[in-house]
Structures are given as structure tokens and as C-alpha cells.
Amino acid sequence: MTLLTQLDSSTTVSAPAFLPIAFFEGEFCPFPEAQLSIATHALHYGTSVLGGIRGIPSPSDSNQILMFRLADHCRRLSQSAKYLNTNIDPIELEATFIEFVRCNQPQTTFYIRPLIYTSSLGIAPRLHDVSKDLLIYGLEMGDYLHQGGVRCRISSWLRQEDRSQPLRGKSSAAYIASALAKTEAVASGFDEAILMNARGKVSEASAMNLFLVRNGQLITPSVDQDILEGITRASVMALATDLDIPIIERPVDKSELFIADEVFLCGTAAQISPVLEIETYLLPEHRPVTEQLRELLKKVMLGSEQHYSEWLTRVHIGSA
């Protein structure tokens, strides 16, 4: 048995359908040509920050792409970059993403992954005296989670604390806990993991924020519970306000999840996904708040709710 065979013992997974053009080292190029050195600093130390942006072809205009809350994603990515001791203009990011979409001319729903990373070659975990760069690629993406709902377990892994990692940014290094929790959940027969924080309160899922409904109130872990300040989370809260659904941000106990009227997860990739079961506790099949919010968010993202038109960036593709 070769060393490679020993290391690569996992099941082979087919590659996603990547968009044909990437942004790499300051220019657009064919996706296969965007290659990093094996000595890239970020690969060894997790010194990178990332984002994720949804794009949807407009149902009413075949030459238009709808990008959900693009300015907010660019602002958060710019803020995340500050943790790498670098500055990047969110306005320039926005212009680059728009050009990226125009170069790729996507015909189906897709997801954009930008990464700001330490690009120097060499060894030494630091953020000073090391160059940084931006890469962007995209892939076709439909539903990230099963839209009929998911079964969750409480992970044995804890969400990191903000005093040990900057959790208000999307740091690549923070996702090791997410990966461990997700694999643990799937290996034990569940779809998704819910992570607690070091204080024993509910934090979030592996890559999504969490909401629950009790007695008609929408409850979500507050920002002091080591959560990511999710853009979809903020969108859900704004929609709930407009629907006159009371919202409470506060610490959440594990036991509350088991007796909740509804629980759902949300994120850029997942959008809104209902939770059917947590551990051995079945949740009610009737989920009026979840379904109301999910339906409204879907309409917003498809551009059919004019009240939220400022959340959409409309990118023209195709012939002039």
C-alpha cells in the first residue's frame, strides 16, 4: 500500500460544476489555470477569510442575474480582511464580483466563493511581512440542504470563543470545528450539527445560524454567543419585523430546542431549512412561521417583492 493510498482512504466525491472563469492574482482567467503553490502560506496556517454570495438568473429577464445583498457581503468580507492586517475596498470588491458574473454568463443558480489569503511562500505563522491576495471562483448550486428539512444532533465539538478567534469575520481557520461537527453528525446518522459554545449555550449549526419559535416568538442566539453575524440571519430578522413576528435575541439553552414549536437553520447556501428532529426529539410538523419566512425570502431573492428591491443587485449579462 502506498502512502497516497493510506492517506486517501475516503470515498471519492465528484467535483462540483465550477463556473468557467476565475479571478486569480489580479486578473480573470480560465478556472483550471488558477493554481496555488503547495507552499502557499494560507494553506498551512488557515490565514485566510472567505465569503459566499448567491446568484440567481432573473425569472423575468434572461439577460439579468440577481445577486442577493451583494453590498453587505462585500462589506463583511472587507471587515474580515482586517483580521489579516489588510484593507480591501468593499466598493472595488463589488465591482469585481459584478465583472466576474459578466465574464461567466451563468445560466443557473450559483454560488460565488471569494477568498482573501496570505499568498507568500514560506513558513512562519504571522500576518506581518507576508503578502495577501484575492481569488474568486464560482460553482452551480441548488439546494445546499434538503428543503424538506434536516435531522440534527448536538455536537460534541464546541464553537470557538471570540477571545481565541475573531468570530465576527468568516475566518477559514474557524471552520475546522464546523468540519469536525458536520462529519460527526453525518457519521452518526444525522444531516447537520448544532454546536454549543464554551458557556453551554446554543451557538449555531456547522455553517448556518439557528432560529427557534416558542409561543409565537422568534428566538435566536444573540451576537455575544460566539455566532457569525450572518447576512441571511439579519435578513430573516428584518422580514420577521415586517411580518409583525416578535423577535428575541438572547442566550438559548439546549433544552429549549427539544420543546420548541419550530426550529430552522439559515445561511447564504442553506437559505432557510426547517429542522425536523434534534437528537431523539421530534419537532412539530406544523411550521407556520418557518414556512412564512421561507416563502417570503424566496420571493425576495427572485425579485418579486419590490419592498426589498434594495437587497438585490441586478447584473446585466448577454448582448447589449
Q: 281-306: buried (b, 16+ CB within 10 Å) or exposed (e) per residue? A: eebeeebebbeebbebbeebbbbebe
Give a yes or no: residue 114 inside a domain: yes
Beta-carbon count within 10 A of 119 CB: 20
**Average pLDDT value for residue range 126-132:** 96
Same domain membership, residue 173 and residue 283: yes
Name 232's Cβ contacts closer than 8 Å, sequence gap at least 6: 209, 266, 267, 268, 270, 271, 272, 297
pLDDT at residue number 4 = 54
Band of residue 146 on the pLDDT scale cut at 50, 70, 90 = low
Q: Cα separation of 239 and 304, whole Å?
A: 14
Same domain membership, residue 204 and residue 229: yes
With H, G, I as helix, E, B as strand and everything else as coil, classify residue 74. helix
Residue 108 has pLDDT above 70, yes or no: yes
pLDDT at residue number 6 = 57
Same domain membership, residue 263 and residue 182: yes
Give a yes or no: residue 259 inside a domain: yes
95: domain CATH number is 3.30.470.10
Name 92's Cβ contacts closer than 8 Å, sequence gap at least 6: none
Band of residue 143 on the pLDDT scale cut at 50, 70, 90 = confident
Residue 22 has pLDDT above 70, yes or no: yes
Q: Which amino acid is at 215?
A: N
Chosen domain end from 113, 140, 167: 140
Q: How far apart are the first and last CA of the chain?
A: 58
Same domain membership, residue 160 and residue 77: no
Beta-carbon count within 10 A of 1 CB: 6
Same domain membership, residue 235 and residue 120: no
pLDDT at residue number 95 = 98
Band of residue 8 on the pLDDT scale cut at 50, 70, 90 = low
55 with 106: CB under 8 angstroms?
yes
Residue 51 has pLDDT above 60, yes or no: yes
Give a yes or no: residue 101 inside a domain: yes
289 or 141, higher pLDDT: 289
pLDDT for 217-258, tens place per residue? 999 999 999 999 999 999 999 999 999 999 999 999 999 999
Tell me the average pLDDT of the chain.
94
154 with 135: CB under 8 angstroms?
no
β-pair partners for 137? 113
**Average pLDDT value for residue range 66-92:** 97
**Average pLDDT value for residue range 66-89:** 97
Same domain membership, residue 158 and residue 240: yes
- Domain holding 109, by residue range, is 16-140
Same domain membership, residue 159 and residue 253: yes
With H, G, I as helix, E, B as strand and everything else as coil, classify residue 234. helix
Q: To which H or E segment does residue 49 belong?
A: strand 48-50
Give a yes or no: residue 297 inside a domain: yes
Nearest Cα residue to 318 out of 104, 138, 56:
104
Paired sense of beta strands 21-24 and 27-30, if any: antiparallel
Number of domains in the chain: 2
Beta-carbon count within 10 A of 165 CB: 17
Same domain membership, residue 164 and residue 124: no
Per-residue DSSP letters for 30-54? EGGG----TTBHHHHH--EEE--EE
pLDDT at residue number 3 = 56
pLDDT at residue number 270 = 81
Instruction: Give percent above pLDDT 90 in the chain.
Output: 89
pLDDT at residue number 319 = 62
Residue 14 has pLDDT above 80, yes or no: no
Same domain membership, residue 269 and residue 228: yes
pTM more than 0.95: no
With H, G, I as helix, E, B as strand and everything else as coil, classify residue 15. coil
**Average pLDDT value for residue range 73-83:** 97
Band of residue 142 on the pLDDT scale cut at 50, 70, 90 = confident
Q: What's the Cα-to-Cα distance from 61 to each of 95, 314, 316, rounded to whole Å?
A: 21, 10, 9
Instruction: Compute CA 195 distance to the chain's CA centroid, rounded to the nearest angstrom.
Output: 16
Band of residue 277 on the pLDDT scale cut at 50, 70, 90 = very high
Q: What's the Cα-to-Cα distance from 312 to each of 70, 73, 203, 308, 309, rounded to whole Å?
A: 7, 12, 29, 8, 6
Band of residue 122 on the pLDDT scale cut at 50, 70, 90 = confident
Instruction: Give percent above pLDDT 70 in the chain.
Output: 94
HEC readout, 91-148: HHHHHHHHHHHHHHCCCCCEEEEEEEEECCECCCCCCCCCCEEEEEEEEECCCCCCCC
